[in-house]
Amino acid sequence: MLRLDGLRVRVEDREILKGADLEVQRGQVHLIIGPNGSGKSTLALAVAGHPAYEVIGGRIFFEGEDITSSPPDERARRGLFLAFQNPVEIEGLNMADYLAKLIEKRIGEKPLTPLREHVEEFVMEKLGPYMEALGFDEGFLSREVNVGFSGGEKKKFEILQMFALRPRLAILDEPDSGVDVDSLNVIGRLLSRALQEGITLLLITHTGGLYRHLRVDRVHVMYDGRIVASGGSDLFERIQESGFEVVIR
């Protein structure tokens, strides 16, 4: 589904990814772990197509197509989703209007009118159960995108957007950092549900907090801009016990 061939990425004159190889199969859960600064977020942002992350070598394939130079919106329309580690605040952009637009993009349906009540009704109809599961009430829809959200709310809102868009592959950049135990459980449950609904998951984490909530198929260790080891759950257990040193050498 997703394949990176020797991906090299430069950010502001510094080479961060130095030839990363990765393959993620449909319907699976993959985990990328690695110490801070190893290039995990760079990998996520480069795959999503951030313009400041310049690909200087290698290729990105998604569903068999080379998307290395596709703009970010095209990648999203192909079914790629990124849950941001640091979601961006968009002042003045109403949550209901925003979510309605994402839903419209996917299914081509619109609210009855642009009136607030119709937009909220539309969003509740399409996403109500997910909002409830994530602990968002209707008042949440009258807020502005990510503005004044707590860390946990931001992470959960990324998950909600994933369900609004229903991508083929979701890359989640540290969905477990900075969230409390309750939120972590909620996120874990919702990710299992996403998997059941056919969304392939690529999780990036350095805490491994979500590991116990999901049936992880494959674990990749990132270090200094490369994937240095890949394996099953035994690899994860080994690192939990002895640290990254076991695979870095």
Partner 1 sequence: MSLTEEFLVNKARQISRELGEPEWLREIRERSASLFFKLDMPEHARHVKVDFESLEYFSPAEKAEKLEELPQEVRETLEALGIPEEEMEMLAGMQVQVDSSIVYQTFSDQLKSLGVIAMPIDRAIREHEDLVRTYFARLAGPEENKILALHYALWAGGTFIYVPEGVEVPFPISALFVMRSLPVAQADHTIVVAEEGSKVHYIEGCSAPSYIREALHYGVTEVWAYPGAEVRITTMQNWANHVINLPTKRGVAMSRAKIEWVESLMGSKHTAVRPVIHLRGEGSSARNVGLSFVKGEERHDAGVVIRHLAPNTRSQVISKSVAKDRGSTNFYGKVEIVKGAKGSSGFVQCDSLLLSPEASSETIPALRSDEIDSELGHEAYVGKVAEDKLFYLMSRGLSEEEAITMIVLGFFEPVVRDIPFEYANEIKKLIELSIKGM
Cα angle 12, 15, 17 (rounded to 5 degrees) comes to 125
Q: Could you give the 3-state DSSP secondary structure of residue 22?
A: strand
Of the candidate residues 13, 14, 51, 249, the single one contacting partner 1 (CB under 8 A): 51
Using CB under 8 A as the binding criterion, the count of chain residues that bind partner 1 stands at 32
Q: Which amino acid is at 12?
A: E
The reply to whether 13 sits near partner 1 by the rule CB under 8 A is no
Least separation in angstroms between residue 159's CB and partner 1 is 13
The reply to whether 84 sits near partner 1 by the rule CB under 8 A is yes
The whole-angstrom separation of Cα 215 and Cα 195 is: 10
Tokens of 34: 């690695």
Residue closer to partner 1 by CB (options 71, 198) is: 71
The reply to whether 75 sits near partner 1 by the rule CB under 8 A is yes
Of the candidate residues 7, 76, 194, 222, the single one contacting partner 1 (CB under 8 A): 76
Which positions ≥6 away from 33 have C-beta within 8 Å? 40, 204, 205, 206, 208, 219, 220, 221, 222, 236, 239, 244
The reply to whether 108 sits near partner 1 by the rule CB under 8 A is no
Residue closer to partner 1 by CB (options 156, 226) is: 156
- Residue whose tokens read 């998307």: 67
Applying CB under 8 A, the residues found at the interface with partner 1 are 48-52, 71-73, 75-77, 81-82, 84, 87-88, 90-94, 98, 101-102, 105-106, 114-115, 144-145, 161, 165
